[in-house]
Amino acid sequence: MHRTVKSKFYPEIETLRGLASLAVVLGHCYLWSFPQYLQLGETYELRWLDVLMSGIFDPQPAVLVFFVLSGFVLGCQLEASAPVTSRAYLAYIVRRLLRLIPTMWFSLVISLGLWVALGVVDESARQIVPLALTWFWRGLLFLDFSLNPVIWSLYVEVIVSALLPLMFWCSRCADWTMNAAVFLALFALCLLISKPMFLSFAVFFFVGLLISYVPRTFDKVMGGVFGLVAGVSALAVFTWGPEIAVLSTEKRDLTLWRPWAWIEVPACALLVYFVVRERFAPISAILTTPVLRFIGKISFSVYLLHFPIMIFVDAVLAHNGLAFRPELPVLNWIGLFGIKTAIVCALSVIASVASYRFVEVPSAKLGRSLASCIVKRHLALPSTF
């Protein structure tokens, strides 16, 4: 197929990753602040508000955007790298692992340290410390996600990244008929299976690859009013996809993705497409502002570090009498949610700046150096891949 997108660094993509990370942070703070969601429908007969809030503060769709972004960005990297050889593949794997694993391990060290710190002042937390040590060692090899649950998505990233060159070769060398067949097969896996986990989400990486090959005729169709309607619709489906997919506003099991993840495939793909193609100039201008660019740069660390920090803040607040209790008025819950979210965001940003400077950047540079040595030449690739 003919590539219609340049293999270059897109600052808007980095910013979109940052916004997705913030959405995950806010979503987790919301879920941990309002168990089983706010439940305004049952308490105040305002079910519509419950659905509205549960969609806006749902962290799960944002994770799926990460997968689409990874598919697009890695496709650009593969397009700009050395020809397809065993050495080039090894260089790609080394570089990808050093991009992901060191920061993930650092997040586990921080998680374990926070549990130890809690154990100093809290008896119940002290009893968990030996178990946390087991979680730590198993987490290093993706055998257990208990210490930092968000690393499950890194497991998916690592496995699918290893398979992505094959997907890239398919999207590049095959025609649209063959790519459509691969898409439908991966979409069926997303719709029908839950294990192994990485197969359920592979379709998101693949549609990220396909964004680079969208024909110009599609760009014309997505211009003007039709594109605006499609963008708004994609945003709505992205936000309330779980409720739309299952045709219900009842509380759902947050560990189950299969019943609704499939509807997010076109929604996430369209959102990333609109950003890459810069279909809306005002949105592109916002996405390139310095503050959002900064959030984008540290977004990977924010995503990995916020959860253990949130658990730590929640425990400290509870220890000081600021726990969320069912008998509290809803306004008190909202106030505590605001306080907790502000503290978690501030601490996550501070920790992520340190992680970005002392872990992410050095490990990424090491990965690029080793990759260059493996393929026997220097690869002039953007540092954020």
Average pLDDT for the chain: 85
Domain boundaries, the chain: 32-104+150-308+336-374
Cα–Cα distance measured from residue 192 to residue 251, given in angstroms and rounded to the nearest whole number: 21
Place of tokens 């890194």: 154
List Cα–Cα distances, 325 to 122, 290, 329, in angstroms.
19, 39, 9
> Is there a contact between 306 and 292 (Cβ–Cβ < 8 Å)?
no
Residue 31: both structure tokens together: 């879920």
> Is there a contact between 20 and 58 (Cβ–Cβ < 8 Å)?
no
**What is the pLDDT at residue 57?**
81
Indicate the DSSP class of residue 196: S
Q: What are 307-325's pLDDT values in tens digits?
A: 999 999 988 888 787 777 6
> Is there a contact between 375 and 87 (Cβ–Cβ < 8 Å)?
yes
Q: What are 258-278's pLDDT values in tens digits?
A: 888 999 999 999 999 998 887
Average confidence (pLDDT) over 125-135? 88
**What is the pLDDT at residue 327?**
67
Tell me the H-state helices in 1-46: 11-33, 40-44
Task: Flag the least confident range among 86-100, 228-242, 247-261, 267-281.
Answer: 247-261
Residue with the larger pLDDT of the pair 22 and 324: 22
Q: Which amino acid is at 166?
A: L
Burial-class residue 228 by CB neighbours within 10 Å (0-12, 13-18, 19+). Answer: middle
Residue with the larger pLDDT of the pair 67 and 258: 67
Cα–Cα distance measured from residue 256 to residue 269, given in angstroms and rounded to the nearest whole number: 21
The conformational region for residue 5 under phi > 0 = left, psi -120 to 50 = alpha, else beta, is beta
Cα–Cα distance measured from residue 55 to residue 46, given in angstroms and rounded to the nearest whole number: 15
**What is the pLDDT at residue 287?**
84
Cα–Cα distance measured from residue 296 to residue 361, given in angstroms and rounded to the nearest whole number: 14
> Is there a contact between 346 and 49 (Cβ–Cβ < 8 Å)?
no
Cα–Cα distance measured from residue 5 to residue 51, given in angstroms and rounded to the nearest whole number: 37
**What is the pLDDT at residue 141?**
94
